[in-house]
Amino acid sequence: MVKAIRIVGEKILLLDQRLLPTQIQYVECSNWHDVAQAIKKMVVRGAPAIGAAAAFGMALAATALKKSTQKQFLAGLAEAAEGLKSTRPTAVNLMWAVERMLNVARTQQGKTTEEWENILWAEAEKIASEDIAVNKKLSALGAELIPQQARILTHCNAGALATVGYGTALGIIRRAVEQNKEISVFAGETRPYLQGARLTTWEMMQDNIPVTLIADNMAGFLMQQRQVDLVIVGADRIAANGDVANKIGTYSLAVLAKAHQIPFYVAAPISTFDFTLQDGGQIPIEERDEAELTHFAGTRIAPDGVCCYNPAFDITPAALITAIITEIGVVRQPTRESLMHLQEGLQYGV
């Protein structure tokens, strides 16, 4: 599988996901500004992948600052942190990874700036390798919920491309296939950015996993025809009460799944939870350029001057979710109380 993030010496190579599936090209980042631009421009996307890329952006900032005084180093690092965090507002993994990098520097006060540089690179590597391990753990737990034969609908791309490797929603599908289950996937195309059509289909085909592309508005018909056994999606931020922000269109699928009594699963690492937010209403929703709606592959498809609204994410209320699958456990019918137990488990190192 092609990797979304590669490290070569002191450079970060990010797979340019805007060009998939027709071209495989990497964008080279040699400083944190390059990484911030790549996140903003969607070269790299998907909550965990954005977080890991930003961690390497912080490591690049440390390299640029290694000859400065400790005061300048911390100030420069804080500037990089703000710059990276401001690129995309919804996926909390970005803030989580940047804060983790900042904290590492802040808690190593006795060290030289050159030592700080090494420590920050090591921490970024750790964030990246942990992400793969975490995805494999949650995928193993999630695969237990998948029957021997299943037709699975997914939305957007929550796969290896959206993470450092293996994936969350698609990781569960991969694990179920590895267990010789008979799995087929429906990939919703995910208008307007088409992560499903461009990325999920490609990723599944790379692994020879049967995948069928559908337009987003076909999901209800498929469910009505009993062609979907379950839905699995990823998440960009999960509030303390279990409300989930994920790619626009997720909420509609959850409502449809409920109406057709089809299980609706969310797969996400603990780094996607934001326990500081009481509910999904507090999650900031990114609004993107109207050109994503008015143009298709560079060609105008809507009248010049038309009024547009382009929210990139929506909120699925916890009540519509059958279970949230994390690396430390599966929370069925998530509620504030059950997630509090999950958080307590975290504090006690479960």
Polymer length of the chain: 350
Smallest separation, CB 44 to ligand MRU (Å): 8
Report 105-144 residues binding ligand MRU (CB under 6 A).
none
Q: What mask, x for binding ligand MRU by CB under 6 A, covers residues 250 to 289?
A: ----------------------------------------
Name the DSSP letter for residue 319. Answer: G
Question: Any contact of residue 195 with ligand MRU (CB under 6 A)?
Answer: yes
Q: Rank residues 158 and 222 by Cβ distance to ligand MRU and give the closer one.
A: 158
**Can you tell me the distance from the alpha carbon of 246 to that of 233, in angstroms, rounded to the nearest whole number?**
8
Give percent helix, percent strand, percent coil of the chain, each to the nearest 5: 45, 20, 35
Q: Rank residues 175 and 247 by Cβ distance to ligand MRU and give the closer one.
A: 247
Question: Any contact of residue 52 with ligand MRU (CB under 6 A)?
Answer: no
Q: Rank residues 117 and 236 by Cβ distance to ligand MRU and give the closer one.
A: 236
Smallest separation, CB 94 to ligand MRU (Å): 10
Question: Any contact of residue 165 with ligand MRU (CB under 6 A)?
Answer: no
Q: Rank residues 105 and 269 by Cβ distance to ligand MRU and give the closer one.
A: 269
* Residues 143 and 179 sit within 8 Å (Cβ to Cβ): yes
State whether the Cα torsion 270-42-208-220 is positive or negative. positive
Question: Any contact of residue 237 with ligand MRU (CB under 6 A)?
Answer: no
DSSP string computed for 239-268: ETT--EEEETTHHHHHHHHHHTT--EEEE-
Active-site residues, by number, are: 236
Question: Any contact of residue 234 with ligand MRU (CB under 6 A)?
Answer: yes
Maximum alpha-carbon separation in the chain: 66
Among 5, 38, 48, 175, binds ligand MRU (CB under 6 A): 48
Smallest separation, CB 119 to ligand MRU (Å): 27
Question: Any contact of residue 163 with ligand MRU (CB under 6 A)?
Answer: yes
Q: Rank residues 189 and 236 by Cβ distance to ligand MRU and give the closer one.
A: 236
**Can you tell me the distance from the alpha carbon of 293 to that of 312, in angstroms, rounded to the nearest whole number?**
11
Question: Any contact of residue 94 with ligand MRU (CB under 6 A)?
Answer: no
Question: Any contact of residue 162 with ligand MRU (CB under 6 A)?
Answer: yes
Smallest separation, CB 89 to ligand MRU (Å): 11
HSE, CB side, 13 Å, CA atoms: give it for residue 55. Answer: 32
How far is Cα of residue 2 from the mean position of the Cα atoms in its chain? 17
Q: Rank residues 10 and 311 by Cβ distance to ligand MRU and give the closer one.
A: 311
Smallest separation, CB 35 to ligand MRU (Å): 15
Q: Rank residues 37 and 63 by Cβ distance to ligand MRU and give the closer one.
A: 37
Smallest separation, CB 162 to ligand MRU (Å): 3
Name the DSSP letter for residue 318. Answer: G
Smallest separation, CB 166 to ligand MRU (Å): 10
**Can you tell me the distance from the alpha carbon of 162 to that of 45, in angstroms, rounded to the nearest whole number?**
6
Among 131, 236, 274, 314, binds ligand MRU (CB under 6 A): 236
3-state secondary structure 159-195: CHHHCCCCCCHHHHHHHHHHCCCEEEEEEECCCCCCH
Among 27, 153, 158, 172, binds ligand MRU (CB under 6 A): 158
Q: E-strand spans in the chain?
A: 5-8, 11-15, 26-29, 149-154, 182-188, 211-214, 230-233, 237-239, 244-247, 264-267, 273-274, 295-296, 299-300, 313-316, 323-326, 329-332
Q: Which residues bind ligand MRU (CB under 6 A)?
A: 45-48, 91, 156, 158, 162-163, 168, 195, 234-236, 246-247, 312
